[in-house]
């Protein structure tokens, strides 16, 4: 009887510990679910991996827009660069990518993170990828302009400028500038390329992104 009770208590303790660990790691369940989906459909080593936050996650027709390129979309939730670091193995490194496209910085600024901290995290992401795959090209996607976060325009532009400088001074690193093409003639975010939340893009917005990303996928 004592042995039975001890075993039951041990199982309960282990279960509770596993739940606590899962809760402590942001987006763990979503990352695990996305990984299973990617594995179930199959993927190729050396693919171009797109990852980061929801602006990439919601790019539903990404593969259709680039049918001749092996692509993997491992983006998750409303993530930030430091959270992507926690999941880099499962979202990027295990795929042995030839190219990596990262969209982080948007939520980071909105959450109040300092730009210097965001750049530190982007540098760590790039460094870890190149440490394992020296020939991989890391493409850092600039923060996009959106009506719902337009009051933070100065911070987004400052981040994009630092990303541009970083790409200029580091080998096999590019900046993918999505900012300019998303503005109207008055210099504000185009109203016709966003869904109702004024943050995420509709199909028209992703058509603009296709235009910008095409040279990086040749």
CB 156 within 8 A of CB 143: yes
Q: How many CB atoms lie within 10 A of CB 64?
A: 9
Its pTM stands at: 0.89
Structure tokens at 45: 């080593």
Concatenated DSSP letters of 40-64:
HH---TTPEEEEESHHHHT-TTHHH
State pLDDT tens for residues 11-41.
544 544 444 444 579 999 999 999 999 999 9
CB 83 within 8 A of CB 27: yes
CB 90 within 8 A of CB 31: yes
CA diameter of the chain: 78
Could you say which residues of the chain have pLDDT below 50? 4, 12-13, 15-22
pLDDT at position 9: 55
Q: For residue 135, give the nearest of 171, 88, 163, 84 by alpha carbon.
A: 171
């Amino acid at each position: 009887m004592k042995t039975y009770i001890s075993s039951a208590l041990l199982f309960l303790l282990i279960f509770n510990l596993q739940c606590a660990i899962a809760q402590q790691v942001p987006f763990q369940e979503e990352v695990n679910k996305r990984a299973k989906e990617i594995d179930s459909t199959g993927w190729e080593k050396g693919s171009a991996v797109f990852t980061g936050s929801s602006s990439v996650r919601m790019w539903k027709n990404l593969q259709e827009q680039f049918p001749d390129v092996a692509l993997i979309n491992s983006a998750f939730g409303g993530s930030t660069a430091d959270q992507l670091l926690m999941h880099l193995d499962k979202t990027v490194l295990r795929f042995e990518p030839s190219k990596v496209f990262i969209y982080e910085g948007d939520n980071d600024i909105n959450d109040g993170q300092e730009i210097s901290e965001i750049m530190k995290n982007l540098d760590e992401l790039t460094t870890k990828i190149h440490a394992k795959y020296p020939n991989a090209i890391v493409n850092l996607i600039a923060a996009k302009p959106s009506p719902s976060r337009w009051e933070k325009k100065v911070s987004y532009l400052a981040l994009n400028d630092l990303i541009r400088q970083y790409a200029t001074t580091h080998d096999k690193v590019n900046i993918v500038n999505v900012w300019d093409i998303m503005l109207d003639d008055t210099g504000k975010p185009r109203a016709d390329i966003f869904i109702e939340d004024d943050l995420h893009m509709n199909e028209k917005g992703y058509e603009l992104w296709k235009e910008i990303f095409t040279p990086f996928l040749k």
